[in-house]
Structure 1
């Protein structure tokens, strides 16, 4: 067992969004995602087989859902996205890293 900190060892190169598995099992996956002005590609949607609970730990980001709903998440805000709810990231902070913690579960 090792103690780790979700805010330590942040990537220096943030030219691409950085996704790291913190925990992975057959029923759950927990990821730390570090975005710096990143967004989803213009075309296509996330359409996942798993539900996703996500919290913004630092920074902010906007999500767009296929039904047209847009939400802004700031530090401390979280949302539970049911499986197969099509969505994308519209934008994240350009002035500082946005740190997301995403829990994918079945």
Structure 2
């Protein structure tokens, strides 16, 4: 029998200096995480540059992502999602300090199969 349903917006952690990352599902070549941000941003000068694709969805709250070489930051609110292909340099520029920003992040191999 399958386990009872869970809710990604339930049992949110209290605000802390660090984001809260919870692994929801892992399989070979797949990882799904719930990330809760409470005002965090990437450190100045830090860029994610991952060898895998990452699809992110904001379930609650608000955030801005900065993509290297893009003229403007990407604003995300509830329901907004974005695919960050492998090798896309990006950073979290801002998350709302007033209410938790809840992300769903899916990490998987790039479409071309390289990693």
The residue number in structure 1 matching 2:100 is: 97
User: Quick one: distance in 1 between partners of 2:79 and 2:46?
Assistant: 28
Indicate the structure (1 or 2) with the bigger Cα radius of gyration: 2
User: Quick one: distance in 2 between partners of 1:66 and 1:36?
Assistant: 23
- Per-residue deviation, 1:13: 4.2
Equivalent pair of 2:15/2:38 in contact (CA under 8 Å): no
Does structure 1 residue 42 correspond to structure 2 residue 44?
Answer: yes
User: Quick one: distance in 2 between partners of 1:66 and 1:41?
Assistant: 15
Match 1:33 to one of 28, 32, 35: 35
Runs of 4+ residues over 4 Å off in structure 1: none
User: Quick one: distance in 2 between partners of 1:12 and 1:19?
Assistant: 13
Normalised TM-score (structure 2): 0.87
Unmatched segments (≥5 aa) in structure 2: 110-115
**Paired positions, count:** 106
SS at match of 1:76: coil
Spell out the pairing of 1:18-97 with structure 2 (5 A cutoff): 18-69=20-71, 70-97=73-100
Unmatched segments (≥5 aa) in structure 1: none
Normalised TM-score (structure 1): 0.94
SS at match of 2:48: coil
